[in-house]
Each structure stands twice: as structure tokens, then as C-alpha cells.
Amino acid sequence: MEYSPPPLFKQGASARAKVVFFSLIAIALLVADARMRSLSVIRQVVGSALYPLQMAALAPRDAFNRAGDYFTSLTSLQQENRNLTRNLSVNAQLLQESQQLYAENAQLRKLLGASERLQAKSLMSEILYDARDAFTRKIVLDRGSQNGVTLGQPVIDDIGVVGQVTRVYPFTSEVTLLTDKDQAISVQVVRNGLRSVAYGRGQSGVLDLKFLATNADIQKGDTLVTSGIDGVFPAGLAVAKVVQVESKSNDAFAHIVCQPSAGVDRNRQLLILLVEEKAPRVEPEEPKDKKDKNGKRRSESAREAGADNAAAAPAKPPETRGAAR
């Protein structure tokens, strides 16, 4: 029975011989490729055959790199998203402020144009806050007696009358709006010159024309302006527009509702007209006697004539005067 070692322990040529053999083959292939360029096709075929193996070997590395890139990108995107969200909030706030400044600038330009049209001096003011009384229509401005504000002065915007100064402090002043239930203003219809008084209605934000007869010549759409006869508001300032006229035969007066022209609830900047309230003019009493043609009163002419006659007449003797007594 022959005994042969297992295949693992079978030995052929020595390792040194194998190294020398394969080294010679490699040198021969290198020389042949360098001299005859005959191995390029074989190199391409071998490279194509080994490409799938190379990709399979590189797959774990590429997967690891992609995973790292994913998490890195996710972190950077989250950070970028937070920065963009913060910038969006800041830009939104700036946009709102710029819009407010733009609207305020436009309003100031309109007020400047209104002050140039008016002959009276005016003072720019800004609304600080509304009055605390919920049953009144009042606002507080940032101008007071130190700025020349006095009681009764009109307050307007670029369109028309807003209200009237009813309380003055050193640095602030309180303005009662036209729509307040205790406020009234003398108005005139532009179309026909009809004069009346407009009264505020309170929280409803409209005006009423009271005590006008049912047959009064007033129509829906008529424009009301200040008449100027109250001595406070200059004539010609826009006040309101008639929006409703109701005339019933059994009523003594017509029911007329007006919408204020000015932005009593919108604008923040207003103009205070620095006008003094005019006291009623008292005409001097005319003497009962009329003037003569030369412009002198008849009484004066009579006195002068009497003096001339006394000077021209001869003096009476004393006894005559005594007898007269």
C-alpha cells in the first residue's frame, strides 16, 4: 500500500525556483511590450475583465463616503435652513418697517402740501395714544402749550378736519374727534351754500346733520365743508360727505347721515392749525342823530351853529338878564 502525503503537504518545485521562473516571464513580457507594443490588447481585455471586481472592491469605500457626505450635507442644510429662517424673519421685520416708513413719508408729504395750501400757521404732531375713556372719541398728541397749542385749535390731516383741541398740557394735548358724541362743527354744503351744524354720533364713526327741515335742499353725495362762521375753523376745509338722507312727512326734521372725509381713524401724523379763537365782534353804538352831508353829526353841527350864533349876537345888559331871571 502506497502512502502519499495529503495535497496540502505535497511539494513541487521550490519557492525560489518559482520566483525566478515568474520573474523571467514578467521581464520577458515587459521587454516584449516595450519593444513590440503587442500587449495593449491583452491589457485592455484584462482591465475590462477585472473592472467589475475593482468596483466590487471599491463599493464599501464608496458607500462609506456617500454616507459621510449625506450626514455632512444634512447638517449643513439644517444650519443653512436655520440661517435662512432667521434672515427671513429679520427681512420681514425690515420690510414691514420700510412699508410703514414709506406710508408715513407719503402722509407727511401730503400734510406738507396741505400746510402750504393753508394760510394759517400749522404745527406737525403725532398721535401718542387714544384716550382711555371707551365712550369718547379722543386722541392725545405729542404737542402742548410749550409748542404754542391752545384750546379750540383745529386739527386736520391732508384731506380735511379731524377734530379740535379740547385739553392742553405742557407737552401734550387732547383732541376730540369730529365723531365724538359731544362734538359739533359748523358746515356748509358746497353745492348750494346751505349752512348747518354736524354732530358726532360716537362709536359709530359718522356725523349727523340735525335740525334741517324735511324739504331742505340736500342730497346724497353732497360735500360738506367748514363754513367759517364759528370763528374757529377756517372756511373751506373738507368735513364730510352725505351718505344717507331720509325725509318723512310726519317728522319735523330730516334724518341725514354723513361720512367724515378725513382719516379720523387711520393717520398717525396730523396738523394743528395755530389759529386763535375769534371773539364775537361788538359793533360800537351809533348815535341816534344822523350825519350831515359834510360828514359831521347833526348834533355837533347844531352845537357849532349855536356857538357861532352866540358869538355873533350882541350881549344883553345885566339888568336885562336880571329881568329875564
pLDDT tens digits, one per residue of 228-287: 888 888 888 889 999 999 887 778 888 999 999 887 777 788 889 888 655 445 455 555
Q: Does 312 score more than 50 pLDDT?
A: no
Q: Are 111 and 157 in contact (CB under 8 A)?
A: yes
Contact by Cβ (8 Å): 151, 251 = no
What pLDDT, on a 0 to 100 scale, did the predictor assign at position 7? 60
3 pLDDT tier (thresholds 50, 70, 90): low
- Residue 144: the pLDDT is 92
Asked whether residue 56 carries a pLDDT value surpassing 90, the answer given is no
Q: What percent of the chain has pLDDT over 70?
A: 75
Given this model, what pLDDT does residue 236 score? 86
Same domain, 65 and 128: no
Q: Is residue 210 part of a domain?
A: yes
Three-state secondary structure call for residue 245:
strand
Top pLDDT among 194 and 11 is at: 194
Q: Are 290 and 235 in contact (CB under 8 A)?
A: no
**DSSP run (H or E) holding 100:** helix 40-117
Backbone angles phi, psi at 224, to 5 degrees: -110, 135
Q: Examine the fold and report which residue of 68, 93, 117 is the final residue of a domain before the chain moves on.
A: 117
Q: Identify the residue with better confidence: 209 or 132.
A: 209
pLDDT band (50, 70, 90) for residue 58: confident
Residue 2 lies in a domain: no
Average of per-residue pLDDT across 64-74: 84
Last residue of a domain, one of 117, 144, 167: 117
Query: Is 170 found in the same domain as 94?
Result: no
Q: What is the pLDDT of residue 86?
A: 83
| 309 found inside a domain | no
CA distance 205 to 243: 13
Check residues 116 and 143 and name the one with the higher pLDDT: 143
Q: Check residue 174 and give its pLDDT.
A: 93
On the CB side of 264, CA atoms within 13 Å amount to 25
Determine, yes or no, domain membership for 133.
yes
3-state secondary structure of 102: helix
* 87 and 136 assigned to the same domain: no
* CB of 256 closer than 8 Å to CB of 245: yes
Instruction: Give the pLDDT mean for 22-34.
Output: 83
Question: Percentage of residues in the chain with pLDDT exceeding 90?
Answer: 23
Q: Express each pLDDT in 147-199 by its tens digit.
A: 999 999 999 888 889 999 999 999 999 999 999 988 999 999 999 989 999 99
Same domain, 89 and 181: no
Residue 288 lies in a domain: no
Q: Which helix (H) or strand (E) holds 20?
A: helix 15-36
What is the span of the domain harbouring residue 27?
A: 12-117
Q: What is the pLDDT of residue 16?
A: 82
Q: How confident is the model at residue 61 (pLDDT cuts 50, 70, 90)?
A: confident
For the chain, the average pLDDT equals 78
In a domain, 147, yes or no: yes
Q: Which three cell numbers stand for residue 266?
A: 387711520
Q: Say if residue 189 is in the same domain as residue 88.
A: no
CB-based contact 158:261 (threshold 8 Å): no
Whether residues 111 and 158 fall in one domain? no
Task: Examine residue 264 and state whether it is found in any structural domain, yes or no.
Answer: yes
- Please tell me whether residues 233 and 178 are part of one structural domain: yes
Length of the chain: 325
Per-residue confidence band for 317, with pLDDT thresholds at 50, 70 and 90:
very low
- 315 within some domain: no
- The reply to whether 108 and 149 lie within a common domain is no
- Number of folded domains in the chain? 2
Q: What is the model's pLDDT at position 68?
A: 82
Same domain for 189 and 89: no
So what's the pLDDT on residue 250?
A: 79
Do 134 and 200 belong together in one domain? yes
Q: What is the CATH number of the domain that holds 224?
A: 2.40.10.340
At 286 the pLDDT is: 53
Which residues, 6 or more positions from 126, have their beta carbon under 8 angstroms from its beta carbon? 141, 142, 268, 269, 270
Burial of 243 (0-12, 13-18, 19+ CB in 10 A): middle
Whole-model pTM: value is: 0.54
Decide if pLDDT at 119 tops 70: no
Residues 100 and 158 in one domain: no
**What cell was used for 23?**
520573474
The residue from 93, 117, 141 where one domain ends is 117
Identify whether residues 244 and 160 lie together within a single domain. yes
